[in-house]
Structure 1
Amino acid sequence: MSTASVDVANPLLQQEDLPKFASIQPTDLTPAVEDLLSKMNQDFDSFETKLTQASGSMEFEDVLPELERMQFGLGYAWGVAGHLNGVKNGDELRQAYEANQPKIVEAMSKFRQSKPVYDALSAIDEKIKSTDDASFALSQRRRAVESSLRSMTLGGVGLEGDDKKRFNEIKMKLASLSTTFSNNVLDETKAFSVTIEDGSKLEGVPDSAKAMWAQAHINSLKSKDGKEDEEVPEMDANKGPWRITLDMPSYIAVMSHLPDRALREQVYKASIQRASEQSNDKNNVPLLYEILKLKQETAKLLGFDNYAQLSLSSKMAPSVEAVRELSDLIAEKALPAAEKELAEITALAREKGGEEYSTENLDKLMPWDSTFWSERLKESKFNLTEEETRPFFALPSVLDGMFQLVERIFNIEVKKADGDAEVWNKDVSFFKVYDADSGKHIASFFLDPYSRPEDKRGGAWMDVCVGKSEAVQRDVPVAYLTCNGSPPVGSTPSLMTFREVETLFHEFGHGLQHMLTTASVGDVAGINGVEWDAVELPSQFMENWCYDRPTIYGFAKHWKTNEPMPEEMFNKLCEQKTFNAGMMSCRQLLFGQLDMELHSNFDPEAGESGKGESVFDVHRRMAAKYTPYSEPLPEDRFLCTFQHIFAGGYSAGYYSYKWAEVMSADAFSAFEEVGLDNEEEVKKVGRKFRDTVLSLGGGVDPMQVFKQFRGREPTPDALLRHNGLV
């Protein structure tokens, strides 16, 4: 291997431990990438020569672990850069990231398209298949080799000449387009705000929302004028002014609670038209078409009829038709429920909303009305408001309760370890995970819990900081858990909505699969190598515990008085679980089938030229099937912000949420069957879940993992029951 030197003063090259977030500057990225690329390319050239000379006599240890060691340094630095681009986005970092991205894409293509590597892995694959060894150690190797061969096939290893050249051009362009798409959404979300100075417009709005908007106004004064804290007036939630943004906590509060209908309409329309034709240089419409055309061309080059087929070739779902069948099976139950739910919401609006909601003035509820009146219906049905529950969901307590849960069922301990790692923002915390029996430190994670619209993209996600791998001698996996929850206001801690609590549990579920892996082959450790439509199993599984009594009472204490949540309130929360479950299911089915339709049957060439359906026509057509009660507005440009499929990994894969939810609900029903109040049995089932779903990672086929845990294949019965759709 090469001994090319690297600049060890560069914090991105200091990789013995955790990233040096306090030291990393955007200017560090280019020299780090160039150093690491130079070394990796030298090493890889020598490696290919060695493989060619060996002519098929290599063993597993000689190939994949070597490749992993070669790629580790660049992967580490680029992973840190990608993380910072999502949570600490700025012009300088953005420019450095975009400048280096083509180099990374080119380097990864070189690995995926190496004939010597492919031939060596094919020979190893034949050897592994010829053995009867059923051990987990061999299963990991088999899955890692199979995954690598599939990745190389889909990465163009079989292409030659002009096809190969064009394929690589497309990969480069798609990487650039997805980054631009995401940046446009972030910029457009940041660009919009409305300042309210008339307090009468906020009548009935919860105090927490008013405090959030008042704090947003103060923050905008600081950032706009660069004023010191002492120059800025104190935040006053009751006097304002109040600044509304399109950041998710702010937007949801507007849609749920703002009584001013015209203002709700303004904010709603601003949200659905972000990064569209209205946006000049931040317009994602041309990007939509170009991304779809390039993905379709990629699929054709690789011998597939469409991109959906290409996507499904590495997933559990066997076909586009199988995905549609599951969607339609659920829709058959969900759609009648959804239509009844909307009728009930509409009836309440007409009863309580005054003249503008009367039958004469309103044929049906507008999109900016539905969430507002849905909240009023929920409050009247259950005599419980979101504002009443928030004081019982202070983030520090929720974390304590979540950690108590995993200690109970998975036999681990989570301890705060702030100061043991550098962080990128003062609100980020660091934790260590220990095995409760041995006391061994087995994993760590960073938690970045609050929204920061100025430099952090929306949504919630888990990502890999450091993966477990014997090849690179990393035995302690480290995760990033990122949320965009309600931030603290003044001296009040972050008081979470119940949905934010569920989101935190969801991302922690992803983190647990990464952190509790016992796989040692890096390519299949944790979430690596897990089929995309199975990877949501542990995350959606964890959400179920938000309705478990011992779990809730482990953290639901009033942040001021420490009094536990009243019994009646908990019961109402549980009753609310299936409230609007029909509409929520249909919404997810729409997103999944819209994604699948765009990547299977849609002609982007004809759509862009106006000779066929536009992408927005497809949205309306799919909505007519899965949400016929709620037609998108003509100006709806939701697709221009659908980052999951245009700037993330969910292209022709958004259905995965529902696919995995079938498995997660069925998995949770194993705990229900032994009795959630039967502590000893719950612990036994929990250990089994840890030893299968959370432990085996991508080292075993996901259906086999599920069958090891459950003893059979999954059925949708538990999902339909949990959603009240039986």
Structure 2
Amino acid sequence: MNDNTLPENPLFNQGELPDFSAIQAEHVVPAVREAIRVGREKLKTLEQLQNPTWQAFVLPLRDISRRLDRIWGTVGHLLGVKNSDALRAAHEEVQPEVVEFQLSIGQNPALFKSWQALQAAGPKEITTAARKRIVEAAIRDARLSGVALEGEKQKRFNEIQRDLAALATKFSNAVLDATKAFQIVLTKPEEIAGLPQSWLAGAAHAAQAKGHAGATAENGPWLVTLDYPSYYPVLQHAQNRALREQVYRASVTRASSEKLNNWPVIDEILRLRHENAQILGFANYAQVSLAAKMAPETKNVREMIVNLGKVAKPQAQNEFVRLTEYAKQKGHEDSLQLWDIAFYSERRREELYSFTDEELRPYFPLPKVLSGMFDLAEKLFTVKIAAAPTQPKVWHRDVQYFDVYDTTAKKIAGFFLDPYARSGEKRGGAWMDVCRQREATEESLVLPVAYLVCNGTPPVGEKPSLMTFTEVETLFHEFGHGLQHMLTTVDEYEASGISNVEWDAVELPSQFMENWVYERSVIDQISGHVETGEPLPQPLFEKIIAAKNYMAGSILLRQLYFSLLDLELHEVHGGTLVGVAKDGGKPTEVHGGTLVGVATEGGKPTEVHGETVRDVQRRIAAEYTVIPPLPEDAFLCSFSHIFAGGYAAGYYSYKWAEVLSADAFAAFEEAGLNDDGAIRELGRRYRETVLARGGSEHPLEVYRAFRGRDATIDALLRHNGLIQAA
């Protein structure tokens, strides 16, 4: 059977781009199994290779990986944007086979020896920096995949990998189902008091979709869901405190009920990750995670969190005191609860800076924001972006495809944009993912293609989507990821775009782009009133700037809480206490286990017992929150980043990379943001380093090539208005 089998299967034979209109759930299993069958046949030849060369070894191995990457990547993408029971079932059926096949490559001794032989051959075969990094990463990843394991250890390791993949899918599906299951239908005027007109229109539109044919923004009924554009405005604006409490409790207990309960899934994931680490010879899973990251050790990550926490915690405490005083002035008699914070924060922000999100929305219709964002990319990176003249077949009518051109009008990349929330079939959050990877072959140059996915406010009626300022920032963030993927100049599949970029550096380009939405010249490009076309007025812009660092200490502390909790769960939770404890009974060395007791009598623990995940959460929350979480708080049960995404023991990456992104933007500030010539020159250098080099060099070296030095935390603190506290 040749590679052209399954001619009618649009997953197996995708062509230049997938035909999403043709892909059905029944295509998944045969396409995946055929890709694996073909891959196994080709692996047999590679295993017999006596004198591995780049041409004879790496390129055929790449071909095997690319085929499965495209099929499985498309399935994973659809699982995120067009979820269905049939697609889930197909995914779950073959997921163990995919994991097993990938492990068979990572753990193949013959392939490992070929990688080592290539490394030993040196410049004769490894002719570029990109190839050197690819070989180093392949050897490292093979070791992390258990290539050195034998017998029962390897068998158990493989079982764990299959189980972890299935558990991640189970976790994600439970979050989606719990989100889908929660609905409140509001019918009375007192229930919707304070909620803005745009929310009422969206909630009535959602109610229509659920069978309330006569729903209107004016008369209802209005549907509340746990999709972010629905529930968060309720927390911000609803005067009905009981409604805010109901929605808040639902959001933080999502996927923790008896029917959809991710607590045991979390326990099993953490237990298996810890066992996985120990089989590989690491003390804990955090060490496994950092083995392929920019941060040298967990102590470096903790040091960053602690240093930022020293600034953020007192600032957050002061912000809470001021918010409490404000709420009392407004007649709030008892103590502030967690469902009151967003409401009074928004009221105080409106008073301090005299504007609301709803005032801003009409100035940010999505088409205008896109046009201005593309103009900025042209100015900084000399690229042109336009809607493709012929649109490919997409998975939903709201999706649009764009082409990216260089200065000679040559097409160099493309991307799909899926901008709006869709309850029930699309997971929450926003992300960039890979559809096609840049790669030079003997026949052609494969151009990079990205998926840019957001969960913004959908359009209602004849009006386009009117974006909140936060949604504008999110779009710029994902576009930054897309730029690194699309503007790479690396021709090697395994190191182009975001491939082989250390995870804690991958947020640099995304967070860098967010800074531009606070520049007047960019605001002029991305804003235009939906009715008059007028750009955002200067007084409103000045209020946005003044409000930029409102509650900055609280926001930073929240991210540090998530980061340290993630690290602690993977570094400490899951085993036994080791080391010597002193300094008031606090352990000075803890690894591979659970922090559980007080040590006395010569430093030996006198009490050791299991610490649950919730215990760890409460311990970290005591230090890194101002208001403790509710006793039933289960936000971890929907923390998909670390339990169903790629951020396990790596959530700190957002802050690690934000240090880099703030320092990078400071270079543009130093050059003079009004100096177009200097900005274009600096943009060229940024493109040629941070965006172009992908995973062909270590990100520290790439950053130094752009900035001329290492990054410091000064710009991050300054941009957050915290530099004086430092």
Smaller-chain TM-score bracket: over 0.9
Distance 1:158 1:365 in 2: 55
Quick check: 2:558–2:624 contact (8 Å CA) kept in 1? yes
Where does residue 138 of structure 1 map in the other structure? 128
Percent identical among aligned pairs is 48
One-letter identity of the residue aligned with 1:339: Q
Quick check: 1:418–1:430 contact (8 Å CA) kept in 2? no
Where does residue 253 of structure 2 map in the other structure? 273
Distance 1:428 1:322 in 2: 41
One-letter identity of the residue aligned with 1:469: E
Quick check: 1:665–1:718 contact (8 Å CA) kept in 2? yes
Q: Aligned to 1:593, which of 550, 561, 564? A: 564
Helix, strand or coil at the partner of 1:249: helix
Helix, strand or coil at the partner of 1:12: coil
Quick check: 1:471–1:522 contact (8 Å CA) kept in 2? no
The 5 Å alignment of 1:534-683 reads 534-603=505-574, 611-627=609-625, 629-683=626-680
Q: Please identify, of 426-435 and 550-559, the stretch whose mean Cα deviation from structure 2 is larger.
A: 550-559
Distance 2:710 2:535 in 1: 40
Where does residue 274 of structure 2 map in the other structure? 296
Distance 2:181 2:116 in 1: 51
Distance 1:373 1:421 in 2: 46
One-letter identity of the residue aligned with 1:205: L
Quick check: 2:365–2:466 contact (8 Å CA) kept in 1? yes
Q: Figure out how many residues of one structure are paired with residues of the other and give that number.
A: 695
Quick check: 1:445–1:479 contact (8 Å CA) kept in 2? yes
Distance 2:123 2:200 in 1: 63
Higher helix share: 1
Where does residue 341 of structure 2 map in the other structure? 370
2:72 is the counterpart of 1:73: no
Where does residue 178 of structure 1 map in the other structure? 168
Quick check: 2:573–2:595 contact (8 Å CA) kept in 1? no
Give 1:60 deviation, angstroms. Answer: 2.3
The 5 Å alignment of 1:336-375 reads 336-352=314-330, 354=331, 357-358=332-333, 362=334, 364-375=335-346
One-letter identity of the residue aligned with 1:332: K
Distance 2:413 2:575 in 1: 45
Quick check: 1:443–1:477 contact (8 Å CA) kept in 2? yes
Quick check: 1:471–1:521 contact (8 Å CA) kept in 2? no
Where does residue 33 of structure 2 map in the other structure? 34
Cα distance change, pair 236–608 in 1 and its aligned pair in 2 (3 A)? farther
Where does residue 88 of structure 1 map in the other structure? 82
Helix, strand or coil at the partner of 2:433: strand
Distance 1:585 1:295 in 2: 28
Where does residue 247 of structure 1 map in the other structure? 227
Distance 1:279 1:499 in 2: 34
Quick check: 2:402–2:414 contact (8 Å CA) kept in 1? yes
Helix, strand or coil at the partner of 2:412: strand
Give 1:209 deviation, angstroms. Answer: 1.0
Cα distance change, pair 274–92 in 1 and its aligned pair in 2 (3 A)? same
Q: Aligned to 2:116, which of 122, 147, 159? A: 122
Q: TM-score when scaled to structure 1?
A: 0.94
2:301 is the counterpart of 1:330: no
Where does residue 723 of structure 1 map in the other structure? 720
One-letter identity of the residue aligned with 1:126: A
Gaps of 5+ in 2: 577-592, 597-607
Cα distance change, pair 4–434 in 1 and its aligned pair in 2 (3 A)? closer
Quick check: 1:467–1:474 contact (8 Å CA) kept in 2? no
Where does residue 188 of structure 1 map in the other structure? 178
Where does residue 10 of structure 1 map in the other structure? 9
Gaps of 5+ in 1: 223-231
Cα distance change, pair 508–333 in 1 and its aligned pair in 2 (3 A)? same
Distance 2:594 2:181 in 1: 29
Distance 2:128 2:460 in 1: 53
One-letter identity of the residue aligned with 1:368: W
Give 1:166 deviation, angstroms. Answer: 0.2
Where does residue 503 of structure 2 map in the other structure? 532
Quick check: 2:4–2:13 contact (8 Å CA) kept in 1? no
Give 1:471 deviation, angstroms. Answer: 4.3
Give 1:490 deviation, angstroms. Answer: 1.4
Q: Aligned to 2:420, which of 450, 458, 470? A: 450
2:473 is the counterpart of 1:496: no
Q: Aligned to 2:452, which of 481, 506, 513? A: 481
Distance 1:40 1:671 in 2: 47
Helix, strand or coil at the partner of 1:350: helix
Distance 2:171 2:445 in 1: 34
Distance 1:130 1:26 in 2: 46
One-letter identity of the residue aligned with 2:272: L
Where does residue 228 of structure 1 map in the other structure? none
Where does residue 227 of structure 1 map in the other structure? none
Q: Aligned to 1:111, which of 105, 109, 124? A: 105
Distance 2:632 2:206 in 1: 28
Quick check: 2:685–2:706 contact (8 Å CA) kept in 1? yes
Quick check: 2:417–2:452 contact (8 Å CA) kept in 1? yes
Quick check: 2:440–2:492 contact (8 Å CA) kept in 1? yes
Distance 2:323 2:277 in 1: 44
One-letter identity of the residue aligned with 1:33: V
Distance 2:572 2:275 in 1: 14
Q: Aligned to 1:470, which of 437, 440, 444? A: 440
Distance 1:305 1:397 in 2: 52
Where does residue 47 of structure 1 map in the other structure? 46
Quick check: 2:488–2:691 contact (8 Å CA) kept in 1? yes
Helix, strand or coil at the partner of 1:448: strand
One-letter identity of the residue aligned with 2:373: M
Distance 2:104 2:43 in 1: 9
Give 1:346 deviation, angstroms. Answer: 1.2
Helix, strand or coil at the partner of 1:533: helix
One-letter identity of the residue aligned with 2:283: D
Distance 2:251 2:489 in 1: 43
2:193 is the counterpart of 1:203: yes
**1:585-607 CA distance string (max 9 Å, x none):** 00000000000000001136998
Give 1:3 deviation, angstroms. Answer: 3.3
2:239 is the counterpart of 1:259: yes
Cα distance change, pair 81–712 in 1 and its aligned pair in 2 (3 A)? same
Distance 1:191 1:394 in 2: 31
One-letter identity of the residue aligned with 2:29: T
Helix, strand or coil at the partner of 1:200: helix
Distance 2:193 2:158 in 1: 57
One-letter identity of the residue aligned with 1:379: E
Cα distance change, pair 261–604 in 1 and its aligned pair in 2 (3 A)? farther
Give 1:59 deviation, angstroms. Answer: 2.0
Quick check: 1:141–1:521 contact (8 Å CA) kept in 2? yes
Q: Aligned to 1:709, which of 706, 712, 715? A: 706
One-letter identity of the residue aligned with 1:241: P
Q: TM-score when scaled to structure 2?
A: 0.94
Cα distance change, pair 697–287 in 1 and its aligned pair in 2 (3 A)? same
Helix, strand or coil at the partner of 1:696: coil
Where does residue 229 of structure 1 map in the other structure? none
Quick check: 1:65–1:471 contact (8 Å CA) kept in 2? no
Helix, strand or coil at the partner of 2:633: coil
**1:155-174 CA distance string (max 9 Å, x none):** 01000000000000000000
